[in-house]
């Protein structure tokens, strides 16, 4: 049987098709890792919370931790080459209840990234059209102080529907589109990085304060860039807070490399390539985050003023360096990042829900595969419906979605590394290196969850905000509803 032909599921039902090449899979992983956040968060979170130095250290440390965790994925994928990834690993090693917990939180890790990316679409247009405000028409309302217009909502929803449809009509088409978007994204970021290195406008002195500053206090006092030094993060506690504020969300920043196992049933290549594909995607992601953040600060002598004014700092910096071409470059780059993120996370979340349904953890409806295209159609429809919440809630919900994605990814990483320890001991084929990496992954995954959920005295800007705790409770309640619906399955011994 050709690898590109349809497979038959055990019960004779249509199954997923093997159509993804290594390039497609790298593009899916990289496109998931790099979304709107690498372009918008320099001004929104990274520079005020961590500065240039704190962000760079946090991102490099985060990448190293993700690479450590990636070794566990590379070991587990050949063991269980099925859609579902971490969920499947947990089910085979720890049983039904832990598997449901892992799977349900992974769904939120992946799925929240789709509405996150969609809310950036209006910002792209708004940043590029100057004072024209072409999307600010129709009815509008306010969420958390942010105005949401019908025009922005309609465009974002149209793109969510389009890319959801592309995922339904075939994974190979989606993989090709994802590859094109990812290559264009790399070109845009490299061009901006090189410009920042050679331009006389980009100066090291502009990066002060390198550890960020207390944004709330500075805004309350009406401080300017010239006065920002007195609000800068200083001392051991200040510097540690600066680093941890970004390091704590590393699971969100790099979530996506782990989307690779979700498509394992659709690979048309050897599983031995998985580890290298993951590592390359993580390294590329680290470069993009660090480069964009550094260039944004280096190109602007008054970036703290821009941050407090709510400006799109990276766009302003690119225009400072390259004029109108800089705006176009950022517009193209962030568009590719947003669209590739939507495409990749649609694929990951729908495959995960399909796998959970097929194994009895979610209602059978989610496991229906389209007979013509061989894709999990109903799971995709659910993902589309949930994602439409992004344009409705607006951009102020971005931080809430970041927190939800971070905790979901942390739980997935924890169970993958723990499953590696269990499987390696059971099968007797784990090297000392693998066991050390898996054990370290368990420790860091636990640390991420503690940093995100538990307020630690002396560390500011690290744990969840109030809205994020509320969203977490809502997601748990929805999960309990599905759990109750499948209660007979969870009680059975099979």
Q: Which residues contact 123 (CB under 8 A, 6 or more apart)?
A: 36, 40, 312, 395
266 has pLDDT over 80: no
pLDDT confidence of residue 283: 93
**DSSP output for 151-163:** HHHHHHHHHHHHH
User: Where does the pLDDT of residue 8 fall: very low under 50, low under 70, confident under 90, or very high at 90 and above?
Assistant: very low
Question: Average pLDDT, stretch 66-77?
Answer: 90
Rounded to whole angstroms, the Cα distance separating 65 from 73 reads 13
pLDDT tens for residues 229-238? 899 999 988 9
pLDDT tens for residues 445-478? 999 888 888 777 666 556 677 778 888 898 899 9
399 has pLDDT over 80: no
Higher pLDDT, 476 or 24: 476
CA angle 287, 288, 293 (to 5 degrees): 105
pLDDT confidence of residue 460: 58
Rounded to whole angstroms, the Cα distance separating 146 from 152 reads 13
Question: Average pLDDT, stretch 64-90?
Answer: 87
pLDDT confidence of residue 384: 93
Most confidently modeled range among 35-39, 162-166, 272-276: 162-166
Question: Average pLDDT, stretch 259-273?
Answer: 70
Question: Average pLDDT, stretch 15-29?
Answer: 73
Higher pLDDT, 273 or 269: 273
pLDDT confidence of residue 339: 85
pLDDT confidence of residue 372: 81
Contact indicator for 39, 330 with CB cutoff of 8 Å:
yes
Q: CA 41 from chain center: how many Å?
A: 13
Please report, rounded to a whole number, the percentage of residues in the chain having pLDDT higher than 90.
34
pLDDT confidence of residue 1: 35
- When computed from its CA atoms, the radius of gyration of the chain, rounded to whole angstroms, is 22
pLDDT confidence of residue 99: 93
Higher pLDDT, 414 or 84: 414
What does pLDDT average to over the chain?
Answer: 85
Tell me which DSSP letter residue 42 carries: I
pLDDT tens for residues 89-109? 999 999 999 999 999 998 888
User: Where does the pLDDT of residue 6 fall: very low under 50, low under 70, confident under 90, or very high at 90 and above?
Assistant: very low
Rounded to whole angstroms, the Cα distance separating 402 from 472 reads 12
Please report, rounded to a whole number, the percentage of residues in the chain having pLDDT higher than 70.
89
Q: Phi and psi at residue 162, in whole multiples of 5°? A: -65, -50
3-state SS assignment for residue 143: strand
pLDDT confidence of residue 63: 94
Show the domains of the chain with their CATH numbers.
Answer: 22-491 (1.20.1740.10)
Please state whether beta strands 140-143 and 146-149 pair in parallel, antiparallel, or not at all (unpaired): antiparallel
413 has pLDDT over 60: yes
HSE-CB of 251 using CA atoms within 13 angstroms: 31
pLDDT tens for residues 308-367? 988 889 999 999 999 989 988 998 998 888 888 888 888 888 888 988 898 888 888 998
Q: Which residues of 191-220 are buried (b: 16+ CB within 10 A; e: fewer)?
A: bbbebbeeeeebeeebbbbbbbbbbeebee
Question: Average pLDDT, stretch 140-146?
Answer: 78
55 has pLDDT over 60: yes
**DSSP output for 45-103:** IIHHHHHHHHHHHHHHHHHHHHHHHHHHHHHHHHHS-STTTHHHHHHHHH-HHHHHHHH
Rounded to whole angstroms, the Cα distance separating 421 from 191 reads 42
């Amino acid at each position: 049987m050709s690898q590109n032909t349809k497979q038959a599921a055990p019960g004779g039902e249509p199954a997923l098709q093997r159509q993804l090449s290594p390039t497609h899979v790298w593009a899916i992983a990289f496109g998931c890792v790099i979304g709107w956040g690498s372009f918008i968060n320099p001004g929104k979170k990274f520079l005020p919370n961590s500065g240039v130095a704190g962000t760079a250290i946090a991102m490099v440390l985060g990448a190293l931790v993700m690479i450590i965790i990636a070794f566990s994925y590379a070991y587990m994928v050949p063991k269980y080459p099925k859609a579902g990834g971490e969920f499947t690993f947990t089910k085979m090693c720890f049983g039904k209840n832990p598997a449901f917990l892992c799977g349900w939180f992974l769904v939120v890790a992946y799925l929240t990234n789709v509405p996150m990316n969609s809310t950036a679409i209006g910002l792209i247009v708004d940043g590029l059209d100057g004072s024209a405000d072409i999307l600010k028409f129709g009815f509008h309302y306010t969420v958390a102080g942010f105005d949401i217009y019908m025009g922005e909502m309609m465009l974002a929803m149209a793109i969510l529907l389009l890319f959801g449809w592309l995922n339904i009509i075939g994974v190979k088409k989606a993989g090709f589109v994802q590859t094109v978007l990812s290559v264009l994204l790399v070109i845009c970021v490299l061009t901006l990085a090189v410009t920042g290195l050679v331009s006389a406008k980009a100066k090291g002195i502009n990066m002060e304060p390198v550890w960020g500053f207390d944004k709330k206090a500075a805004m309350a006092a009406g401080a300017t860039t010239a006065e920002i030094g007195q609000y800068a993060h200083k001392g051991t506690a200040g510097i540690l807070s600066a680093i941890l504020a970004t390091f704590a969300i590393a699971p969100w920043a790099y979530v996506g490399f782990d989307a690779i196992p979700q498509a394992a049933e659709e690979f048309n290549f050897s599983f031995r390539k998985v580890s290298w594909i993951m590592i390359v995607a993580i390294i590329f992601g680290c470069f993009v985050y660090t480069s964009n953040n550094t260039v944004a600060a280096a190109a602007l002598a008054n970036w703290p003023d821009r941050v407090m004014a709510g400006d799109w700092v990276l766009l302003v910096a690119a225009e400072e360096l390259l004029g109108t071409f800089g705006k176009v470059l950022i517009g193209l780059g962030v568009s590719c990042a947003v669209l590739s993120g939507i495409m990749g996370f649609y694929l990951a979340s729908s495959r995960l829900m399909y796998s959970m349904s097929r194994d009895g953890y979610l209602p059978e409806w989610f496991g229906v595969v389209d007979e013509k295209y061989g894709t999990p159609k109903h799971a995709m429809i659910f993902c589309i419906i949930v994602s439409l919440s992004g344009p409705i809630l607006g951009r102020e919900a971005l931080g809430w979605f970041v927190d939800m994605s971070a905790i979901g990814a942390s739980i997935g990483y924890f169970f993958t590394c723990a499953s590696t320890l269990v499987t390696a001991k059971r099968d007797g084929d784990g090297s000392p290196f693998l066991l050390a990496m898996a054990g370290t992954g368990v420790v860091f995954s636990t640390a991420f969850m503690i940093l995100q959920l538990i307020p630690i005295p002396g560390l500011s800007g690290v744990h969840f905000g109030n809205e994020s705790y509320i969203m977490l409770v809502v997601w748990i309640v929805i999960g309990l509803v599905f759990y109750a619906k499948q209660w007979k399955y969870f009680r059975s011994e099979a």
